[in-house]
Chain A
Amino acid sequence: MRYLPKSDAERRAILAELGLDSMDQLFASIPEACRLKRPLEVPGPLSEKEIIDYFRARAAENAAGYTSFLGAGVYNHLRSVVADALIQRGEFLTSYTPYQAEISQGTLQAIFEFQTLMCQLTGQEVANASMYDGSTATAEAAMMAVRLTGRRRLVVSRALHPEYRQVVDTYADHLGLEVAEVPFDAATGQTDLAAARAALNDATAAVVLQSPNFLGVLEAVPHFSELAHGPGALLVVAVAEAVALGAVRPPAEADIVAMEAQSLGLAPSFGGPFAGVIATREKFVRQMPGRLAGQTTDGAGRRGFVLTLATREQHIRREKATSNICTNQALCALAVTMHLALLGKEGLREMAAQNLAKARYAVAEFERLPGVRRAFSAPFFNEAALEFPRSVRMINQELLREKIIGPLPLGPFFPEQTKRGLLCVTEVHSRQDVDRLVAATRRALESLGAGARVAVSSPTER
């Protein structure tokens, strides 16, 4: 086998040195009854060529060749080939968690740079490296607020990504926390401030919302911060589309920011691996989960970096740890660091500005179609909920014939919104892509019969 660096003669020689006759004797400590006495019934072995052929065949069964306008937590942005080439250097790819600082300075310094970039982006004072993704970062941020306040109730916006919300529910459930939901305003799409005020009480640990929220609109973070702090609760702000922070005011008034960094240089990859981040105020750092690199010096006074504040972590504190997280998303965080170094201050600003421009162009073009309008009025970044005169699912079936994956139907998430879809347009979409989408939608609406009463789609369809 090509991955195994021993000849049979070498194996026999080592066995002889151990005083053994066969490989089987190495397993003598496993009782007979526990042994598997037949070969595994699994496919393989495959050569490299066969492995590549197998995965190419699977790739051909997916959506290659389609133009997609999906966002909703996973975004298509331009990435330089440089970062991907760099993270494949074996010294990054095949190293472990940098516990041995003297021979891990490359990873440690890069983590320190990642933490710095995340602070600059979010307007917070400290950032960890890293959590599994945005959804688990949000859940862990909420648990962190529970520890910080000693309270056991969460107030969560209905405009938080529904799958993030489900993850928060899973974690909250096992700790017996109460979760109250706050609706969004039907006109603006923003979390209803008055309803949030009503939902808050002295037992509330945190208000949890997302900006840009799941419906694409920006939340008035400073107002919610003031609101949450009144009765002594904290504000947790989730960010699923981090490129927005190149143009949008950072959630500096939040106490904890839970961010998904996928859109900063990571491929969609059918949902992962991504990189979650928690950023917060310095005074909360000891309740923050996840790994941290800190700057220090060696005996000769040279600058170096170490993993620090490990007393928060499971390998030191065991059952008293802030979280059970161990393996994280380090290589993804490194790719993000490289991507942001390449993009830089001006590149990120320009990318964000292009997203603003392209999304607005698309919305304006859509609003020229009869019966199509933007569903919510608050400012948006690169995603907009659109209302159509027909079910989005039916329109999308038509678009698929033209190799277009249209707006994400909102019906499965919000049963009252079957005729609404979430459109995402980024700098990867050309004007022609958008024009083709709008023209195809026009044809779809015509063929579905704009005036006729067609079957209403069920809210569970997706």
Chain B
Amino acid sequence: MAHPMSKATRHVSINEGLIFEKSAPGKRGMELPPLDVPSVDAAQALGREFSREAVEGFPEVSEIEVIRHFTRLSTWNYAIDLGMYPLGSCTMKYNPRVNEFVARLEGLATEHPLQPAELSQGCLRILRVLERFLLELTGMDAITLQPCAGAQGEYAGIAMIHAYLASRGNPRKKVLVPDSAHGTNPATAVTAGYQVLNIRSDSTGRIDLSHLAEYVSDDVAALMVTNPNTLGIFEQDIARAAELLHARGALLYMDGANMNALAGVARPGDFGVDVMHMNLHKTFSTPHGGGGPGAGPVAVKKPLEPFLPLPVLAEKPDGTLAWDSNRPQSIGRLRAFYGNFGVLVRALAYALAYGPGMIEATRDAVLNANYIRKKLEDVYDLPYAQPCMHEVVFSDARQKKHGVSTMDIAKRLIDYGFHPYTTAFPLIVPGALMIEPTESESRQELDLFVEAMRSIAAEAAETPELVKTAPHSARIGRLDEVGAARKPILRWTP
């Protein structure tokens, strides 16, 4: 039986080799102005010991070939600009184009990080305004914009907790991480020198307070919690968890990956969080760009301010801004210069576009997730029945009976013209389908997604093989990942 596939129709996809395979000696795609000073011989200027010939194997192609090469490659990608990208916990929302425009302005993109502060006031004011915006949004007291991504933000946050506790006599040994957490949380805690203790969730998918109470001891530095958690459920006992930790001298770290569910509605600083990071490439719409760049600012409560990474943006008596590196208690520098400035520019452009209206985006994001939940809960298993916020997590329990897994359903979504949701995460839901629509989807796009998911559920029962062998219309079939890892080919060779 044929099921509707309203969103997608097959079309021609153009083949394209590697750039190295298009190379021919003597071609080039960029020319330089002629040299206007006496030329020097490299071997003579540097000595034979230090000089090299041209880079062996480098491509030689013309400008039009470069244009076609990368344009063809681009057509092999799915993207937000093509449609809904429901990757749970990744917040794939619209990336406004004006943000790209302003980040490239002469006077911003052109500025050198070591130029004098008096010639950098524009850059510094941008950072200052963004800092203030994020502090108001989170209800925290002080902030660093330096971390380049969420994981580096986590690292900065845990390092600050370590330094703060050390200043009070004992940095402690353990960090608690719920079993529903992102993989970066335990990896970060270890990088910062802590042991990880995994704590389990209760039957509602939330932190089990009594279990937490057993684990909190004088050896525990912090609990790392994501709120809403990775099931898309708000941790209702968060304030009590904070009290529990604080009573034993431990701190509450919040992974702000899911701030898109809270912006304008609730502030972590108001429910006991001591340290948190945000992912500006999620909540603040800076483009994921195929994996980065991002930015992971970290906000803290007042007692942790002395430990912020170097340097800190400071206001001078005359009202101008400058970097302050004279901070003896700082955890040190996380990165050369001041972080991913261009990403921070984009984030501020997004923030200013909404202003106080950011709450509207939050509401639409939660509305969309609940709509999907409502439209699919009769065909997909819902392991946790609590109301969801910005994302909804189903499991493949019903489809498993026909031998169809979450990965198969995800791959079949490709045929229907959608990017898959997040598969097999969070780990506490076996066979998870983690769906985050964001606020950027219209009712029509949501309905197309619902139609696709319902069709696939029907196919899983009627023609499971069709789903298990998907995708059928991608330019390439499922790839041999085991072979790729066993005998890695990681570069082109002639």
Contact = CB atoms under 8 A, between A and B. Distances in A.
A14 B337 contact: no
Given A319-B196, A332-B292, A314 B332 contact: no
A323 B187 contact: yes
A121 to B, nearest CB: 6
B111 A92 contact: no
A102 B477 contact: yes
A298 B480 contact: yes
Interface string A318-334: 11110111111111101
B122 A30 contact: no
Interface stretch (B67-75, B398-406, B460-468): B67-75
Contact of B387 (A29, A133, A351): A29
B40 A353 contact: yes
Given A100-B414, A170-B334, A40 B189 contact: no
B266 A30 contact: yes
Given A116-B492, A314-B151, A315-B183, A324 B191 contact: yes
A53 to B, nearest CB: 10
A395 to B, nearest CB: 13
Contacts of A344: 23, 27-30, 58-61
Contacts of B95: 93-94
Contacts of A173: 331-332
Contacts of B152: 132, 136, 324-325
Given A5-B441, A17-B374, A271-B113, A42 B77 contact: no
A257 B122 CA distance: 35
Contacts of A113: 18-20, 492
A101 B479 contact: yes
A427 B152 CA distance: 35
Interface in B441-493: 441-443, 445, 471, 474-481, 483-485, 488-492
Contacts of A310: 485
B470 to A, nearest CB: 9
A74 B149 CA distance: 20
Interface string B96-120: 1010111111111111111110011
A218 B46 contact: yes
Contacts of A273: 148, 292-293, 340-343
Contact of A318 (B45, B186, B292): B186
Contacts of A324: 151-152, 154-155, 184, 187-188, 190-191
B42 interface: yes
Contact of B370 (A26, A39, A64): A26
B38 interface: yes
Given A34-B239, A308-B481, A358-B37, A41 B356 contact: yes
A76 B485 CA distance: 39
Interface in A304-348: 304-306, 308-311, 313-321, 323-332, 334, 337-338, 340-348
A423 to B, nearest CB: 13
A209 interface: no
Interface string B403-436: 0000000110010000110000100000000000
B367 interface: yes
A80 interface: yes
A97 B290 contact: yes
B443 A51 contact: no
Contacts of B491: 112, 115-116, 119, 125-127
B125 A61 contact: yes
Contacts of B239: 31, 33-34
Size category, A interface: 35 or more
A448 interface: no
B213 interface: no
Contacts of B214: none
A292 interface: yes
Given A39-B356, A84-B104, A95-B77, A102 B191 contact: no
A30 B363 CA distance: 13
A163 B336 contact: yes
Contacts of B63: 80, 82, 342
A332 B295 CA distance: 14
A41 to B, nearest CB: 6
A136 B148 contact: yes
Contacts of A306: 479, 481, 484
B191 A166 contact: no
Given A52-B102, A91-B82, A298-B476, A4 B360 contact: yes
Interface residues of chain B: helix, strand, loop or mixed (majority): loop
Size category, B interface: 35 or more
Interface stretch (A103-111, A198-206, A437-445): A103-111
B192 interface: yes
A148 interface: no
A280 B420 CA distance: 34
B234 A29 contact: yes
Interface in B208-233: 233
B36 A430 contact: yes
Most buried by A among B36, B114, B441, B443: B114
Contacts of B334: 136, 167, 170
A193 interface: no
B29 A4 contact: no
A84 B66 CA distance: 12
Most buried by A among B137, B196, B266: B266
Contacts of A45: 352-357
A85 to B, nearest CB: 8
Nearest to A164: B336
A453 interface: no
Nearest to B96: A3
B52 A250 contact: yes
B77 A103 contact: yes
B55 A245 contact: yes
Given A26-B367, A341-B19, A104 B77 contact: yes
Contact of A30 (B98, B234, B296, B353): B234
Given A59-B105, A297-B479, A306-B481, A74 B187 contact: no
B138 to A, nearest CB: 10
Contacts of A46: 352-353, 355
B266 A247 contact: no
Nearest to A61: B122
A11 B443 CA distance: 9
Interface in B352-400: 352-361, 363-364, 366-367, 370-371, 374, 386-387, 389
B338 interface: yes
B149 A132 contact: yes
B176 to A, nearest CB: 12
Nearest to A460: B326
B51 interface: yes
A60 B107 contact: yes
A31 B270 CA distance: 12
Contacts of B386: 29
Contacts of A218: 46, 50
Contacts of B245: none
Contact of A42 (B92, B356, B367, B414): B356
Contacts of B318: none
A117 B58 CA distance: 7
Nearest to B42: A247
B490 A294 contact: yes
B55 A348 contact: yes
B244 interface: no
Nearest to A173: B332
Contacts of B289: 87, 92-93, 95, 330-332, 334
A323 B162 CA distance: 19
A328 to B, nearest CB: 4
Given A36-B266, A273-B340, 8 more contacts: A44-B352, A56-B105, A70-B112, A96-B90, A249-B51, A272-B341, A292-B490, A324-B188
22 contacts: A36-B264, A40-B264, A45-B354, A51-B352, A55-B105, A55-B349, A90-B79, A94-B92, A105-B77, A116-B18, A116-B491, A130-B292, A218-B50, A267-B109, A269-B109, A304-B479, A314-B187, A324-B190, A341-B59, A346-B26, A347-B31, A379-B50
